[in-house]
Every structure is written in C-alpha cells, then in structure tokens.
C-alpha cells in the first residue's frame, strides 16, 4: 500500500535504530526536531504519489508484479520510465531541495541488473532473492538508504591493503544461513530515517579482495548497526525559510558483526559483477542527480527573478540582469537536456530493464558538479550584497529599529518590504548559508567525484569511431592539400574547375 507522508513518519516508530546526532543519543527518530526537515523532504515523495496532479509521475506499474508502486522503487522498463523518473525527481527536489528517496530507485535498478548477470555467470540465485525482496519493499512502500561509500582509509591502497580493514564494509564470516558483515560506510543520505540500508560495493575489487564485494539489505535497527548523523537542514534557525523545513541528514553507518540472512544477500564475493553493480548504480544515480539539481536550478531562477524585481529592476530593460538569469537558465536546462538525452538513448540491459545512456548521464552530472558554483555566483550577481547583510529575523520585531529599517529596506514600492526580506533570506539560505555549501559539495561529490565521471565518459565515448571517421576522410584526400580528391577528369571539385585533358 502506498503510504502518505504522515504514514511514512509514523512507520519510523516501528524501528529502534541506534542513532547519535551532535553527540546525543536519539531515542525516537520520528520526533527528533534535528531530523524533521529530512523526514519532511522524503515525505514529499509519499504525498505526491497520492496527489491527482503528480501521481502519474510519482507512481508506476511494476511489470513483474502488475502492482502500482512508488516511482522511487520501480524498475525501469523503457525510455518513458526514465523520462518520468527524471521529471519526478526534478519535481520533488524543487519542492524539498533534495527528496533523497531517488537513491532507493537507483540502487534497486542496479541490483536488479547485477544479480541477473551474477546468476548467469556463477549459477547463483541472487536475482530470485532480490525479486522477492523488491516486491516486499514495493508493497510496504519503504525508503532504502544507500550504504555504498566506504570510509576508504588511505585512498592509494586497495581494501585488502588497509591497516584497518573496517574502513571498508566486508564479509567477516560466512555461515550456512547467511553472512556476518563489518566495517564503515562513511556517507549515507538520510541514514537515521531510512527503513533499511542497501549495502553495496563502492569500487571495483580484485579477486583477492572478494570479501569486500558484498551487497545486502540490512534493517536500520539490525543488531550491530550504529548511525552517527548530522542534523537535516537548518532546523530551528529563524532565517532558514526553506532549510528549516526541508533538509537532508547524512550519517556515518558502522556495521559491527551484523548478521545478514541469505535471503537478504545479493552479492557475496563475485568481484567482477560487484564492479558492474557499482558502475551501473553510478549511471542510474547520476541520471537522477541531474533531475535533483535541475529542481535546485528552478528555485534559483525563480528567486533570482523575484529578487531583481524587488530591487526595482526589470530584466527586459537591464541587459546584464537578463544575461545573468539567462545564464542560470542555460546551465540548468543544459544539464537537464543531458538527462533527457540519456533517457531517450537508453540502453536495454540483458536483465530486461533499461539503463540511461552512460555518456549523457555522466556529462550531465559533470556539468552540474562544476557549474553549481556558477549557479550560486549568478544568484549573488542579480541579488546584491543584502543577501549576506540583511539583519537577522530577531531584528524584525525590535521596536527600536523595526520601522526605520522597514522604511529604507524597501525596494520597488509595490513589493512589501517583508516580501523582499523573505526573498533575500531564501537566497541566503540556498546560496550563502552552510546549506549552500552542502548543495555545492553534494553536487560536486555526490554520485562520485568529477574524476569518476570523466573516466566513465572517456571509457564509454566512441572515440575510436571518431578516429575512423577522420582516417576515412584523410584517406579520401579531403585534407590532403595539393592532391586531387577525385580521380574523375573534370570532377576535381563541385564546380569542376579543372579542365579535363583533351587527348585521353
Ligand atoms: C551530501 C552527500 C550525500 C551523499 N550521499 C551518499 C549516499 O547516500 N550513499 C553513499 O554511498 N554515498 C553518498 N555520498 C558519497 C559520495 O558518493 C562520495 O562523496 C563520492 O563518491 C566521493 O567519495 P569521497 O567523499 O570518499 O571522496 P574521495 O574518494 O576521497 O575523493 C576526494 C578526491 O580524491 C580523489 N581520489 C580519491 N581516490 C583516489 C585515488 N585512489 N587516486 C587518485 N585520486 C583519488 C578524488 O578524485 C577526489 O578528487 C554522498 C556525498 C555527499 C557529499
């Protein structure tokens, strides 16, 4: 059954995870004010699945069961699914900043592909286990955290070469009924308010590191799991018009001898397929990140335009303001266009699902990763210095300053000063505060650092085809100045300027 946001928040009460925030033990995640903005943001994906205007995007029919499920838990069957998912992610992220739950989708799709592939290569039964799990997750309408990025220790060393092997999650023991895992995943979005974690490998592994190639599902409150998290957004800060309501917590998740039964294990030592699982997840996730950050772009374009207006400037009359806003639009829609292209040119996977095109997904993610800083700059450019200089909301009700401040801080007369202050604080929240830094870093590193995208673009782009093209042109003599292009007399060029010899 599809939950509402209220159902989702309520459902968290059935779990008792071991969570710490800012050094405090959190007894009830659902009631913790420091986590509430994160719960609110995920909640949007639940409520929109019931909303008449949005449910077409936020739900899908799961082919293997015929059931209506959340788009955030659906296995893509065609290009239209990818377009809908992209649009859905943009929609929920422009409302909530980052609605987080699309990570569940990205991981489920990667595990679906990888388990099929592993079974074919090793005669295992991972896909059967996974399908049973997938249908259960869809029926319960859960939210799954992605526990992929390991703590990694010394980056120049392989997992097996680390002085402390727990900087990577790995199999500690293999039992007849399951496996025991241990180690640390360093950055898990929404960790405290997920229902379960999907533990996945974060890199390719060599055969001697087989125990590190592990994928399994673990409830957030499984024995041995500890979550050390940061608050979501800026809860309780009066100036945080947006991030006080919506935000994202990240958690370090430690696994201390956690037992995982066989039916929740989807990879246990198959290194080659583990590498495939990581890159497949990366492609799905980078495609989703494009939608997420386009939603952020929507917020900046809207706020930047309103800011200019409230400053008394009309973009139609002031070319430099219009140019800055057009630059913001161009950046946002150019990486979003890569997401559309990746959906349209998707690849069919032998597992029976589709993958967004790897090159376009990676180029879109690389663009947003690097252009996020320009997006902030453009918002600052059109806004002016008051985004950092506006006195804090406490001053709004100071009888000694309120009236005189209000009189001089008004911009365009028709726009009330309160509205101008709201817009300034909104832009400050998204582009100046610690949340602005958060949006930058998640754009740059979330889904992999830029170098990871560049490698994927270089690995997958048909460079050899381009070389062949030029080789063929050179062989035909197109660029070989001084030689004839055509052997036919009188057909040296389109005009035939060279007269054919008379006596042939
Ligand atoms: C807000 C946020 C939310 C996130 N959410 C999740 C989540 O839900 N689940 C999850 O699993 N992950 C999540 N991530 C993690 C994200 O995938 C990683 O940040 C990303 O893969 C980079 O890894 P890292 O942070 O360990 O940085 P590093 O890998 O340490 O990279 C830092 C720099 O070092 C370089 N580098 C690293 N290793 C090498 C090497 N061997 N040789 C040469 N150069 C190297 C990189 O290219 C980069 O420039 C999140 C990240 C952020 C910021």
CB contact at 8 A, 240 and 234: yes
HSE, CB side, 13 Å, CA atoms: give it for residue 153.
17
Q: Which domains does the chain have, with CATH numbers?
A: 277-460 (1.20.140.10)
CB contact at 8 A, 431 and 379: yes
250 lines ligand 1 (CB under 6 A): yes
Task: Quote the percentage of the chain above a pLDDT of 90.
Answer: 93
Q: Is the predicted pLDDT of residue 483 greater than 70, yes or no? A: no
Q: Is the predicted pLDDT of residue 240 greater than 80, yes or no? A: yes
146 lines ligand 1 (CB under 6 A): yes
Question: Which phi and psi (to 5°) does residue 60 adopt?
Answer: -155, 160
Ligand 1 centroid from CA 152, angstroms? 9
Atom of ligand 1 nearest to the CA of 250: 3
What's the pLDDT at 478?
73
Ligand 1 centroid from CA 444, angstroms? 9
Q: What is the mean pLDDT of the chain?
A: 95
Q: Closest Cα to atom 31, ligand 1: which residue?
A: 449
**Angle, in degrees to the nearest 10, between helices 79-96 and 102-122:** 140
Mean pLDDT of all residues in 294-314? 97
Q: Is the predicted pLDDT of residue 461 greater than 80, yes or no? A: yes
156 lines ligand 1 (CB under 6 A): yes
473 lines ligand 1 (CB under 6 A): no
What secondary structure letter does DSSP report for 150?
Answer: B
Instruction: Give the pLDDT band of residue 476 (cuts 50, 70, 90).
Output: confident
CB count, 10 Å around CB of 290? Answer: 30
- Distance between terminal CA atoms of the chain? 86
Instruction: Give the pLDDT band of residue 477 (cuts 50, 70, 90).
Output: confident
Q: Over the stretch 137-147, which tens digit does the pLDDT of each residue have?
A: 999 999 999 99
Q: How far out from the chain centre does Cα 120 lie?
A: 30
191 lines ligand 1 (CB under 6 A): no
Rg, Å, the chain Cα set: 27
Q: Over the stretch 252-276, which tens digit does the pLDDT of each residue have?
A: 999 999 999 999 999 999 999 999 9
Beta bridge partners of 380: none
State the pTM of this model: 0.94
Q: Closest Cα to atom 11, ligand 1: which residue?
A: 148
In whole angstroms, give the CA distance from residue 355 to residue 501: 59
Q: What is the best residue among 38, 150, 155, 277 to mutate for testing ligand 1's pocket, by most ligand atoms within 8 Å of CB? A: 155
What's the pLDDT at 241?
87
CB contact at 8 A, 226 and 18: yes
């Amino acid at each position: 059954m599809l939950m509402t946001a209220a159902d989702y928040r309520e459902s968290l009460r059935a779990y008792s995870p071991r969570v710490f925030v800012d050094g405090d033990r959190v007894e009830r995640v659902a009631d913790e004010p420091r986590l509430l903005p994160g719960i609110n943001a995920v909640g949007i994906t639940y409520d929109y699945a019931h909303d008449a205007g949005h449910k077409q995007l936020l739900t899908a029919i799961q082919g293997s069961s015929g059931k209506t499920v959340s788009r955030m838990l659906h296995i893509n069957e065609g290009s239209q699914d990818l377009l809908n998912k992209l649009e859905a992610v943009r929609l929920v992220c422009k409302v909530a900043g980052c609605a987080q739950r699309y990570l569940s989708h990205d991981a489920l799709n990667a595990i679906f592909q990888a388990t099929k592939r592993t079974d074919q290569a090793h005669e295992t039964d991972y896909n059967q286990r996974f399908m049973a799990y997938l249908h259960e997750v869809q029926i319960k309408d859960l939210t799954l955290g992605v526990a992929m990025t390991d703590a990694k220790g010394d980056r120049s060393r392989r997992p097996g070469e680390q002085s402390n092997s727990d900087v990577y999650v790995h199999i500690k023991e293999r039992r007849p009924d399951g496996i025991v895992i241990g180690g640390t995943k360093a950055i898990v979005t929404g960790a405290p308010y997920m229902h379960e974690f999907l533990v996945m490998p974060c890199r390719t592994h060599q055969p001697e590191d087989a125990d590190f190639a592990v994928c399994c599902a673990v409830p957030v409150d499984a024995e041995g799991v500890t979550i050390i998290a940061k608050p979501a957004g800026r809860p309780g800060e009066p100036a945080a018009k947006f991030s006080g309501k919506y935000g994202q917590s990240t958690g370090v998740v430690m696994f201390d001898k956690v037992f995982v039964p066989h039916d929740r294990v989807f990879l246990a030592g198959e290194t080659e397929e583990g590498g495939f699982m990581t890159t497949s997840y990366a492609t799905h996730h980078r495609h989703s990140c494009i939608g997420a950050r386009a939603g952020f772009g929507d917020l900046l374009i809207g706020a930047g335009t309103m800011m200019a207006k409230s400053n008394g400037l009309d973009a139609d009359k002031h070319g430099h303001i219009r140019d800055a806003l057009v630059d913001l639009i161009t950046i946002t829609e150019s990486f979003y266009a890569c997401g559309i292209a990746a959906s349209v040119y998707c690849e069919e996977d032998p597992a029976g699902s589709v993958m967004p095109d790897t090159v376009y997904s990676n180029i879109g993610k690389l663009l947003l990763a690097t252009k996020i800083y320009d997006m902030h700059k453009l918002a600052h450019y059109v806004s002016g210095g008051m985004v950092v200089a506006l006195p804090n909301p406490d001053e709004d009700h100071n009888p000694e300053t309120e009236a005189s401040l209000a009189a001089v801080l008004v911009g365009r007369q028709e726009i009330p000063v309160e509205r101008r202050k709201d817009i300034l604080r909104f832009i400050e929240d998204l582009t100046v505060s610690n949340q602005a830094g958060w949006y930058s870093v998640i754009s740059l590193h979330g889904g992999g650092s830029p170098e990871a995208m560049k490698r994927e673009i270089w690995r997958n782009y048909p460079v050899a085809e381009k070389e062949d093209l030029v080789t063929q042109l050179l062989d035909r003599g197109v660029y070989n100045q001084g030689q004839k292009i055509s052997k036919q007399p009188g057909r040296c060029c389109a005009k035939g300027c060279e007269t054919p010899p008379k006596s042939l």
